[in-house]
Amino acid sequence: MSDATYALSIEELIGGVDDLPSLPAVVMELLGSIDQEDIDTAMLAKKVASDPALMAKTLRLANSSAYGLQVKATTIQQAMTFLGYEAMRQLITAAALTGCFPAGRCPGFNDRAFWRHSIATAACARVLARRVRFNPDYAFTAGLLHGIGRLVLVTRFPERYQAVLSLRDKRDCDLAEAERALMGLDHVDAGVALAEHWHFSDTMRQAIAFYRLPEAPGAGFLATIVHVASAVVQALDLAGNPDELVPRVSTVAWTALGLSEEAWLQVFHDTELQVEEMAAILMA
């Protein structure tokens, strides 16, 4: 069978929408409204509270050491008062996303390692954003979502994705290269298609589209942060996935962050401190 036989179109990819999970309505609202400012926080708190599992996970995250609350938040409204709307938006999104895709569809795909990588990238992106005075909440959400296209490919085409993983092992190449060789597109294309389908804001779509090519014209600074955060996580092996090659880091992106060696060591330390607790909460 030739590689061309495997080529997928974006329409085919998102065509089987019934195979893709649906997000809670409140999260769809949050992802679509990242670029808006006039949000009714009381109404949002009420909507989250109507989903007990989502509320419990969100509150555990809000009370984790990464957010350093002096007083424990016991309600969503309280957490919003302590942390602010933007921080709560990314916590609610993280709590919902990490539980909504089916696991175990493709035997060769390590779901837990995927989520550990995504959570660690989110944590690292947040740490980096604070260092460079960029919005840490946007950075966290973009870090969490950057590889979501892989889950689309695994969920929609598990057998084909198994062949992709075998090809990657055989060629010892980058996973995106194997995806393109056997599917005609890669997880970035799939992630952008999902972002359209789920009505993500333009900010998030752009970060997903350009995180592998942060030096591309119009990529935006958020893509730079996510690109570097993802590479740092792989270099520190925080996902515990020995199969992943550490990608080449864009020197343009690395330089753009302008951090000293001492600052980088602190970034590595802070990221490692946060990942275990966050992963334990989100992957419970």
The 10s digit of each residue's pLDDT in 236-263 is 988 877 666 677 899 999 999 999 999 9
Q: How many CB atoms lie within 10 A of CB 153?
A: 24
Interatomic CA distance for residues 194 and 148, integer angstroms:
8
Q: How much is the average pLDDT of 48-55?
A: 90
Q: Are residues 93 and 112 in the same domain?
A: no
Euclidean distance between the first and final Cα of the chain, in Å? 41
Q: Are residues 217 and 146 in the same domain?
A: yes
- The pTM of this model reads 0.91
Read off the CATH number of the domain in which 211 is found. Answer: 1.10.3210.10
Q: Are residues 52 and 112 in the same domain?
A: no
Q: Are the C-beta atoms of 144 and 94 separated by less than 8 Å? A: yes
Q: Are residues 31 and 152 in the same domain?
A: no
pLDDT at 1: 37
Q: In degrees rounded to 5, what are phi and psi of residue 16?
A: -90, 60
Q: How many CB atoms lie within 10 A of CB 239?
A: 23
Confidence grade of residue 199 (pLDDT, cut at 50, 70, 90): confident
**12 within some domain:** no
Comparing 24-38, 230-244, 270-284, which segment has the lowest mean pLDDT? 24-38
Say whether pLDDT at 5 is over 70: no
**138 within some domain:** yes
Map residue 247 onto helix, strand or coil. Answer: coil
- C-alpha 222 chain-centroid distance: 13
**76 within some domain:** yes
Confidence grade of residue 38 (pLDDT, cut at 50, 70, 90): low
Residue 43 host element (H or E) = helix 41-49
Interatomic CA distance for residues 46 and 26, integer angstroms:
10
Length of the chain (residues): 284
Q: How many CB atoms lie within 10 A of CB 280?
A: 12
Q: Are residues 187 and 255 in the same domain?
A: yes
State the DSSP string of 130-190. HHTTS-HHHHHHHHHHTTHHHHHHHHH-HHHHHHHHHHHHHHT--HHHHHHHHHSS-HHHH
**192 within some domain:** yes
Q: Are residues 153 and 197 in the same domain?
A: yes
Domain region containing 164: 104-284
pLDDT at 76: 92
Q: Are residues 73 and 45 in the same domain?
A: yes
